[in-house]
Each structure stands twice: as structure tokens, then as C-alpha cells.
Amino acid sequence: MNYWIDIPPGFSAVAETPDGKGGVTNSPSGDGILKIWAVYLGGSNFKQVVLATLASDRAAGWSITSQETSPTSLAWTGVNKRRSFAERAIHHCGNAVAFYRLEFDRNATSSYAPIISHLDESLDNGSCW
């Protein structure tokens, strides 16, 4: 699976997740957490996988505040009492989905807006062979 994303300046080095399917990095202030991962679709399709992720966010108590869809990507944002997040999923080469999720203090939303825009622009699925 080939995908990449630009890590925002000042964020910590990316640490691999225990399952080996992604990475985690923190903002310089420590209030922002960027998670990056990918999954294979298996018997599901792209839409099923991302809608299940959205449902999981709702079940965890997040209010979804925006959602943008295209045939090959889905982006959404959410809030709870103290935190906000931005998440994007892109369909990758027919059988995989790459994700990023940036979670941060709710009162810092405006300072994270340019970081989210850059993450959205930089998340790329590379070349499919």
C-alpha cells in the first residue's frame, strides 16, 4: 500500500502504532494528536468502511459537524465537550483506505484550520500499479 501525508512542522516524530498499521504524532503544544493509518477493505467497500467509522465516532459521543464526500474520499469533523477532530479517508488502489485523524482542544479550532487544510491537500494515495 502506497500513501503519504505531510507531517505538520513542529509535530513530534511519528511513532508506529502497536498494530503496525499506522502512526501517531503530537503537536508542539501537546494538545493535538495526529493519527495516520490504512486498512484493507476485505469484503467491504469504501463507503461501508468510512460509514462504519462515522458511526463509531457517533457512538463514542462525538457530534459530527460537517461531512464532505466524493467517490474516492470522505472528510468529516466533529466535536464533544472538550475536543474537536478532523478526519479524512481516501480510497486507495481498489482494496485499501488511508485515513488521517487530527484531534485537538476544542478552543484551538481556529489555529488548527490551516493545518487541517494542509493535511487534506497532502494526503495522497500515490501510484496504483
pTM for the full predicted model: 0.89
How many helices (H) and strands (E) the chain has is answered by 2, 7
Instruction: Report the 10 Å Cβ neighbour count for 98.
Output: 25
Cα–Cα distance between 5 and 38 in angstroms, integer? 12
Is position 4 within any domain? no
What pLDDT score does 4 carry?
77
Question: Quick check: is 117 in a domain?
Answer: yes
For residue 43, being part of any structural domain is answered with yes
User: What per-residue confidence (pLDDT) applies to 34?
Assistant: 97
pLDDT attached to residue 127: 57
Mean pLDDT of successive 10-residue stretches along the chain, which has 129 residues: 82 91 92 91 83 92 93 91 94 81 94 93 68
Q: Residue 50: its pLDDT value, please?
A: 86
Report the Cα–Cα distance between both ends of the chain, in Å, rounded: 10
Q: Identify the pLDDT of residue 128.
A: 57
For the chain, give the longest Cα–Cα distance: 44
Expressed as residue numbers, the domain containing 81 is 15-122
Domain count, the chain: 1
Write the pLDDT tens digit of every residue in 103-127. 999 999 899 999 999 998 888 756 5
